[in-house]
Structure formats: structure tokens, C-alpha cells
Structure 1
């Protein structure tokens, strides 16, 4: 009887451990599979649910960081939506001559969260600059952005504002 009980427990533990291993493999495989996205707007639509997952998409290079070349801003086909791509992986940097070119990017979706406290501090700096009459239209645009962030936080019942970007691992120029 004791042998039968021991064999039953051993068999059960083997089954349970095998199932957990398979589940872990499936989850790992799911994390590695790239997310289907071909445009910047598609990336932005799926970004919140797919942080850390790989994507492939195209966009026109609007701006390359002049200081280091480690950051590029890409525009969608309408010219109204943009996304930041950070140089990581095989990308040592973006050449400024890429401006105006369409590139295909492979990378991972990343998120930066701005807390309410950070937004409050930013707003105080903008107001101080505005009060010193240094800001003009620039300060008005910053205040509009702050208002939009706060509205989004309120609508989504969040205590932070999310900025999605791509840690680019490779790219190629689209002819």
C-alpha cells in the first residue's frame, strides 16, 4: 500500500512538473515572437500591451540627434504621428544623412512613465519660465502638452503618463 501511494505521488509530481516546464517554454516562446506591426500607428496601438516585445515597422526619419546620433525620430506616412528610436543592439548610431529617408526598423517596445510628481515639477519650471517672459509660444505649447498628459491620466485613471519608444536593434534604408 505504501509503495502504491509512493508511486502515485511520484507519478503526479512528474506530471505536474512536466506541465509547468511546458508552460514556461510556451511563455518564453511567446515573449520572443515578434508582434505584427508594419507602421508607426500600428506600433502605437499595440504598445501598452506589448512592452518588451519585438516589432518591425517603417517610418521616415524626421530628426537624428546631432550630439550623439544615438536617437532618431521617425514619422508615419501622414506626418502627424512620430516615435523615438534609440540606437541599441547592432545600431551604433544614426547618421544625420538619414533625415528624409524611410527606414525599416527592428526593435523592442519600451515605456517611460512620467509620474504626477515629475509632471508637477515640469509644470512649475514652465510657469517660472513663462513668468520671466522667456517662454512665449514655446511655453504655451509646453503647457498644452502638460494639460494633454493630465487629461490622459484622468481618462485612463492612471497616476502616470506613458511615453512609448523603440530600443532599435537594427535598421535598413527602404528604397
Structure 2
């Protein structure tokens, strides 16, 4: 661009003094234009960085000890939890139990979990799902329990345990004055290993 400017100035036969003055103005304008372009580029990079950070921080984190009390606020939304994989379901491998000293949560997936996850400390991103246990649910459980027992599919001990469980659900709803009890779980989205934080002490 500067070469074209020189050729233009020479072509119009400017006097040396005017030529030097014109060149000085031209270089000043070019420097200012370059500065604005640089600032604009830096601003774009900053905006992109801020957007990335906001995206990473947009998923709320819930401690497993607070999962049962706070999960209702995030039904059908993604959250982040951390814990140790205590169990990988052997029947299909599509469910894991994530635990800490303060709580636990069942995490389900459409694909099979790797058995090697057991014992790992991980971060899990998942969608909160709610299952409502109400009177209709209790009636269905009663019906299925009676049917399976009468057909010999369950023994007396299991039959009685299921009856006690149904009675416990009804008692809990009556005591709380509610028409349903919510069970919350997580639908798996992704996970990554949780890297343990270590503190290095210098020898004195």
C-alpha cells in the first residue's frame, strides 16, 4: 500500500518539502490505523475467552450431600457432581452409584459404563430426572406384588418386604402432608477424572 502511495505522489510531481510533509502524515495515519486494528483483534480474543469461561462455568455444581434437597430446582437441566464410583450395575452396566461421605446418587446412561470406573473419583455432568411416587404408583406396586406372589415368582419373604415398602411410602406422604414423594437421579451426559489436589511442603 505504501509503495502505491509513493508512486502516486511522484506521479503528481509534489515539491520535496510538500512530499516529505505528505509522507509524514501518511505514515502517522497508517500507524493509527494499525493500532486500532490491533486493539480490535485483542478485544475479539478477550470476548472469545470470556465466552468460553462463562460456558464452562454455566453448569451449576451440587454437592452429593445436598443433591436430594436441591435437585428439584434443576429438573430436566444439567448439573455437575463429584464422587467415587461405588458400584457399576452388572445387569447391562448402564447404571452407576456415585457416593461421598455425605450422600449418593444413581446415574443412568443409554450406553454401558466401563467396569474399570469402579473406585474412580470423577466429575459427572448429568441431567436431573424426577420420578414421582404417588398413590397411583403404590397401587401399581401392590398389584404387581400380589400378581407375582400368586404366580409363584416371588416367595413370602420378598412379598412381605414389598408390602412394607409400599406402606412406608404411604406413611411418609401422610406424615409430610404431600401427595407424592420425588426420587431424583441423573441422566449421564459426560464425565472426567477428578484430579486430587496435593500440597507440597518445603523442608525447612
TM-score with structure 2 length normalisation? Answer: 0.55
RCO comparison, higher one (Cα < 8 Å, 6+):
1
Which of the pair is proportionally richer in helix?
2
Unpaired runs of 5+ in structure 2? 1-56, 196-204
1:77-115 alpha-carbon deviations (Å, 9 max, x no partner): 25xx43211226xxx431122223222111121101233
Q: Paired residue for 2:87?
A: 63
Q: 1:134 to 1:109 in 2, by over 3 A?
A: closer
Between Structure 1 and Structure 2, whose CA radius of gyration is higher?
2
| Partner Cα separation in structure 1 for residue 118 and residue 162 of structure 2 | 25
Q: Secondary structure at the match of 1:94?
A: coil
Instruction: Give yes or no for the alignment of 1:109 onto 2:128.
Output: yes
Q: Paired residue for 2:194?
A: 174
Q: Is the 8 A contact 1:43 1:55 kept in 2?
A: no
Q: 1:121 to 1:65 in 2, by over 3 A?
A: same
Q: Is the 8 A contact 1:35 1:53 kept in 2?
A: no
Q: Paired residue for 1:99?
A: 118
Q: What is the CA RMSD across the aligned residues, in angstroms?
A: 3.0
Which of the pair is proportionally richer in strand?
1
Q: Is the 8 A contact 1:64 1:96 kept in 2?
A: yes
Identify which of 129, 135, 146 aligns with 2:166: 146
State how many pairs are aligned.
Answer: 139
Q: Paired residue for 2:101?
A: 77
Give the CA deviation at 1:129: 5.3
Give the CA deviation at 1:140: 4.2
| Partner Cα separation in structure 2 for residue 136 and residue 52 of structure 1 | 39
